[in-house]
Structure 1
Amino acid sequence: MPDHVLITGGAGFIGTRLAKRFVESGRTVTVLDALIPQVHGDDPATTSPLLRSLDGVAEVIHGTVTSSDDLGRALDRATIVVHLAAETGTGQSMYEIDRYVEANVGGTAKLLDILANSEHTVSRMVIASSRSIYGEGAYRTADGRIVYPPHRADADMAAGDFDVHLAGEGAIEVIPTDERATLHPSSVYGITKQMQESLIMTVGPTIGVEPVALRYQNVYGPGQSLKNPYTGILSIFSTLIRQGKEINIFEDGLESRDFVYIDDVVEATFLAATEPAAAGGVFNVGSGVATTVHDVVAALFAAFGTTVPTRVSGNYRLGDIRHNIADTTALREKLGFTPAVSFSEGVSAFVDWVRTEPVEGDSYQRSLDEMASRNLLK
């Protein structure tokens, strides 16, 4: 019998494309998704193109991973589980702590509890982990040692010093972070992702389930939510450009991220779920290239063929990291996969899609106001 795949959170940006990839390979798919308004609008059947894209592709169960009944129904016949369901957003996680922990940690615990205490057919489980579990990630000292610095100090950033420092060292250089790095997340979101990963990697082998953890970097591309103010700067900045509004560049604009295109993420996840060599593995999923915020703005201006005013404000958010670069050696060597889409190609495709979408309201500013009111945005 062909595999039957359960994708939790499968009506989202990654899950909808992944569902199609599984179906194309001859597998059947069930999606469990809470269809939250922040992503899907108030009436998902009419306001969510992502949900509609699953018509004829997958069975969709409107439910939540925090409900044992919903999980029990969704697990029926499943042989592979891809656990994408999670509350996302570093900033929001710092003040909606209970919601993030309940959904991300509690939902994962319920999923594993059902499998541990009942007969099941699941043989492989993939957890969507995150680069956020690394905190500031890996750096190299002047004498060549690899170190993992602590979180940046509020006092330093308030004084305009946004670089990463380590006591007793001079200048340190950011390098790609591999899967052996020290884990020390700097946000509630990162903590919950570390706990999700740890639960699945620890419990899975005891219940006959091969665990695989994918530490996603900054995923982007067509289909990304333009409504959700916590989905990343490409969506946020695109909306501001279309509205003709100023872009506020936080810190000094030299902070960087590893942007990885949606199609590459889907293929890496498919391989993690289906390749025997992936069993028990932990893999970074990224491009391995650092892109600064200034680079992002320039790429979007070029793709849109227009500009808006920009301001390097020196604002910063507590919990944010300075840099992010993935070492993708394990993904290449164990699964034979190398991301294929460059940032310039990906941004061009993303902007072409954005042009076809309605201009969304300014929920981003509301999210910043919420953070500022809690002293998390300076």
Structure 2
Amino acid sequence: MKETVLVTGGAGFIGSHLARELLDHDYRVRILDNLTPQVHPDGTPPAYVPPGAELIVGDVRDRETVARALQGVDLVCHLAAAVGVGQSMYEIERYTSINNLGTAVLLEALAQADVRRVLVASSMSLYGEGLARDGDRLVEPEERPIEQLKAGQWELRTPDGRVLEPVPTPETKRPSLSSIYALGKYDQERMTLIFGRAYGREAVALRFFNVYGPDQALSNPYTGVLAIFGSRFLNDRPPMLFEDGGQRRDFVHVRDVARACRLALESPRAPGQAINVASGESRSVLDVAQALARATGKTHLTPHVVGKYRAGDIRHCFADITLARDLLGFEPRVPFEEGIAELAEWLAGQIAVDRVEQANEELSRRGLVA
């Protein structure tokens, strides 16, 4: 038996897959999760939490609970967070409390604990508009002007109007924080790496791109885009796409993400680094919606392209995964077509409450959709 790992947020989508990955590689696993109703509507542990993991139900902001959860722990994977760009723009206090304060409480407790390495889940959202090419020159695009977005001109442009070509984004790209969620994830990342340096602990941040796969929270309208599309299809409704659906993203299967986390706990070259975890491929959101429609037999549900902009959204961002390959020995193993087929098979046995239109109405009411 290897070391004991604490996974905060371990009853969630990524956390439960990580717990299973760790158990399969002979780690002891303890989970700390508050079973938030937005993810777990009935407040009970989901069936997909692996039975070999010890579960502590509690909040990462509660000092006593965190101290108890850290007893006898060798390694920590900090995944507990409020997730969702759109919702973060109006539930500012809640997102800041869970993500920023929760990480601060954990790190203060870690200063008193005998934990060797801590991994924190960061996000591609901190890259903003990613990296782009203007002719022969690489550029870091600014946020698109609101006037341009209101005019329905979605692509990234130079100040004189030339369209920029999106390219894979490496870790060297400077942060460009377009949402409260992105700001919080950047804070979580930097706090953890600063803590590691100051206290002589091994700390690593993994910047997750668009993670998908079975066990996503289908009734949470602020979760990953493929889960939202799945919820719509299960209710025989067309997926809703902001802008024109041409936004390009990097979709990585959750089992690949779980494996990357384990490798980051084991690699001697990971500490002190912030590393992209992704597939290294890009796809438009419209292409992804159509792929899931084919896999679920819902091709009659033509995607509804809203032609509107949502505050905090970015146009294109997909990953350069060279660093993950070099430092972790990470290589994505689940092809997109295989992952989509598996997701469709899982969806066939699920029931989802579709809250997408309600969430969009809430954003519109607050002036966060243009």
Shorter-chain TM-score category? Answer: over 0.9
Q: 1:11, 1:39 → 2: CA distance? A: 9
CA separation in 2, counterparts of 1:103 and 1:270? Answer: 24
Q: Tell me, what secondary structure is at the counterpart of 1:6?
A: strand
Contact 1:258 1:325 (8 Å CA) reproduced: yes
Structure 1 runs not aligned, ≥5 long? none
Tell me which residue corresponds to 1:54: 50
In structure 2, how many angstroms separate the alpha carbons of the residues matched to 1:306 and 1:168? 42
- Deviation (angstroms), 1:277: 2.0
Aligned to 1:332: 325
Given that 1:115 and 1:207 are in contact with CA atoms closer than 8 Å, whether structure 2 keeps it comes out as no
Query: Which whole-Å CA distance do the structure 1 matches of 2:78 and 2:318 have between them?
Result: 24
Number of the residue aligned with 1:130: 123
SS in 2 for 1:269: helix
Candidates 300, 304, 317, aligned match of 1:311: 304
Partner of residue 187, structure 1: 179
**Which of 98-107 and 331-340 deviates more?**
331-340
Q: 1:111 aligns with which of 98, 106, 111?
A: 106
Q: Is the 8 A contact 2:234 2:347 kept in 1?
A: no
* Compared CA separation, residues 32 and 175, structure 1 to 2 (3 A): same
Aligned to 1:10: 10
The CA distance in 1 between the partners of 2:79 and 2:114, in whole Å, is 19
Shift of 1:343: 1.4
What aligned pairs does 1:241-320 form with structure 2 within 5 A after superposition? 241-307=233-299, 308-320=301-313
> TM-score, normalising length from structure 1?
0.94
Matched position secondary structure for 1:337: coil
Q: Cα distance, 1:205 vs. partner?
A: 2.2
Aligned-pair CA distance for 1:248? 2.7
Structure 1 segments of 4+ aligned residues over 6 angstroms from their partners? none
One-letter identity of the residue aligned with 2:60: V
- Which residue does 2:315 correspond to in 1? 322
Which stretch of the first structure deviates more once superposed, 71-80 or 230-239? 230-239
| Amino acid paired to 1:172 | L
Structure 1 residues 1-378: aligned runs within 5 Å: 2-45=2-45, 48-50=46-48, 53-55=49-51, 57-116=52-111, 118=112, 120-142=113-135, 144-168=136-160, 170-307=162-299, 308-358=301-351, 360-378=352-370
Contact between 1:123 and 1:208, CA under 8 Å: does it hold in 2?
Answer: no
Which amino acid in the other structure matches residue 290 of structure 1? Answer: S
Question: In structure 2, what residue type is equivalent to 1:275?
Answer: S
1:29: how far off?
Answer: 1.1
Structure 1's 356 and 201: CA in aligned 2 closer, same or farther, altered over 3 A?
Answer: same
Asked if 1 retains the 8 angstrom alpha-carbon contact of 2:152 and 2:308, the reply is no
Are the aligned partners of 1:79 and 1:123 in contact in 2 as well (CA < 8 Å)?
yes
DSSP-derived class of the 1:40 partner: coil
1:23–1:311 CA distance, 2 compared to 1 (3 A): closer
SS in 1 for 2:206: strand
**Percent identity between the aligned chains?**
42
1:168 deviates by 4.9
Whichever residue aligns with residue 209 of structure 1, its letter is R
The CA deviation string for residues 158-201 of structure 1, in whole angstroms up to 9 with x for no partner, is 10101112325733211000001010110000000000000011
Are the equivalent residues in 2 in contact too, given 1:141–1:169 (CA < 8 A)? no
Deviates more, 1:246-255 or 1:35-44: 246-255
Structure 1 residue 323: Cα displacement:
0.7
Moved more, 57-66 or 160-169: 160-169
Verify the 8 A CA contact 2:244 2:307 in the aligned structure 1: yes
Partner Cα distance (2:154, 2:281) in 1: 20
Distance 1:362 1:136 in 2: 29
8 Å CA contact 2:16, 2:50 repeated in 1: yes
Paired residues of 2:79 and 2:120 also in contact (CA < 8 A) = yes
Displacement after TM superposition at 1:97 (Å): 0.4
Cα deviation, residue 316, structure 1: 1.7
Q: Report SS of the residue matched to 2:203.
A: strand
| Structure 1 residue 79 displacement after superposition | 0.9
Q: Aligned residue pairs: how many? A: 369
SS in structure 2 at match of 1:180: coil
Aligned equivalents of 2:240 and 2:53: distance in 1? 40
Indicate the RMSD between aligned Cα atoms, in angstroms: 1.4
